[in-house]
Structure 1
Amino acid sequence: MASTRTTRLDRKQVIDTALRLLNEVGLEGLTLRAIAAELNVKAPALYWHFKDKQALLDEMATEMMRRMGWPSEDQSADWREVITAAMQGLRAHLLRYRDGARVYSGTHFTDTSYAGPMETFLARLTTQGFTPAAAVRGWHTAYSYTIGYLIEEQAMTGRTFDLTARAERLADHPLAAQAGEEMFGDYDAGFDRGLRAVVEGIGATLRAPGAPGKGRGEARA
């Protein structure tokens, strides 16, 4: 019978192990018992650090955010480029983790390390024609699109989707049949097209008309 380790665990060890194990077993298979087995300890040892799985997920999401590379602080950058680059970066980062979007969504960060990047992004928007409230709404709208898209994308990972067979089944509904290629054919291109639509909508509905700063069609330095 294998002996369990007696050295003291810290939160970082647990989270590093949890994130590694996530890629092997997915969110459904990630339990405190499975993490404890990986660390060669008994499950109650983890409860010193995390009272339940939700507390563990909160810390995992926070660590994902800490590891993320954010765009450099350039207050002259066009707000569309700021949002687009940030959401593309968020998607690329979360794709590194199996079920990464599901882990990241609906959790509460356990420290304030997110506040600096958030302050920078909102400042860029408020200096280019957005009120503080509109900047927050625009940012959160793009974020929600990104997470929602990712949840759907990652749910399809590893599944075979025969678009030809789908089109044949929907032969009496030609537009619905053609939709399959757009929805499931190329996730990278589909994400970028959708994000472009979201960003343009943010500019059309939330940015003050005639506001100073770069807008659609304005020359960029």
Structure 2
Amino acid sequence: MVSRIDRKKVVETALCLLNETGLEGLTLRRIAKDLNVQAPALYWHFKNKQELLDEMATEMFRRMVWPRLLETGPERDGPGHTWRDALLDSCRGLRRGLLTYRDGGKVFSGTRMTDESYAPPTETFLRRLTAAGFTPHQAVRAWWTAYNFTIGLVIEEQSVHPDPGEPDGRDPAYDLGDRNRRLGERYPLAALAGYEMFGDMEAGFEAGLRIIIAGIEATAGDAAEG
């Protein structure tokens, strides 16, 4: 019998179970079973599942590659490293980090950070944009737009490829050949859309980011020059 558990142990166990059960199957009862305690013991640390998800998202953030990249951003910056590169680096790192957890996008979306670990990398990144000529408002809007695109795409990507241990595995519901057979003759463009949306997800992610960057350049005026 485990005589003592703490918040960190509960979160570590929950993150491990997440890859086995997915978000829907992750329950306090299942976590307690893996910790060899009774479920009420967990309520000393988390009042409900949402509080646990908030702490899980915060721990996921701490572990991600992208905040470390952002924290060392000024050292990495050189004449050829632009604000565009910084935005691409951060969103790519966020996507990579979330894809290591089953339903990582869903866990991260809509949760609240439980400490201020997000503040230093966010501050560093926004300073990178303001140093390039963006106003603080423009910098935040640029990041927030790219961030939400990344989260949304990861949620979709993890619906198509739910198992992080098998990134090439595909949910049968997203059988593109079957979709093409059903739609191709009557709705050829809708059939083609399936290959674009659910085919090469990484290519779609990269293309979408570049569309966003082009939009930022088009709307930020002189700021996009830096």
Return the TM-score normalized by structure 2. 0.88
State whether residues 50 and 56 of structure 1, in contact with CA within 8 Å, keep that contact through their aligned partners in structure 2.
yes
- 1:151 counterpart residue number: 155
State whether residues 163 and 180 of structure 1, in contact with CA within 8 Å, keep that contact through their aligned partners in structure 2.
yes
What are the residue-to-residue correspondences of 1:20-169 with 2, within 5 Å? Answer: 20-70=16-66, 71=69, 72-74=72-74, 76=78, 77-157=81-161, 158-160=170-172, 161-169=174-182
Q: Distance in 1 between matches of 2:13 and 2:204?
A: 33
Residue type at the aligned position of 1:149: L
- Structure 2 stretches lacking a partner, 5+ long: 162-169
Q: 1:83-110: CA deviations, max 9, x gaps?
A: 1111011001100000000000100000
- Structure 1 stretches lacking a partner, 5+ long: 215-221
* Identity score, percent: 59
SS of residue paired to 1:210: helix
State whether residues 127 and 213 of structure 1, in contact with CA within 8 Å, keep that contact through their aligned partners in structure 2.
no
- 2:189 counterpart residue number: 175
Residue type at the aligned position of 1:201: G
Cα deviation, residue 162, structure 1:
2.5
Is 1:202–2:216 an aligned residue pair?
Answer: yes
Does 78-87 or 158-167 show the bigger shift? 158-167
Return the TM-score normalized by structure 1. 0.90
Pick the structure with more helix per residue.
Answer: 2
Q: Distance in 2 between matches of 1:109 and 1:25?
A: 23
- 1:192 counterpart residue number: 206
State whether residues 217 and 224 of structure 2, in contact with CA within 8 Å, keep that contact through their aligned partners in structure 1.
no
Does 165-174 or 85-94 show the bigger shift? 165-174
Q: Distance in 2 between matches of 1:212 and 1:150?
A: 27
Provide runs of 4+ in structure 1 moved above 4 Å.
none
* Higher Cα Rg, which structure: 1
Q: Distance in 2 between matches of 1:182 and 1:164?
A: 13
RMSD over aligned CA atoms reads 1.4
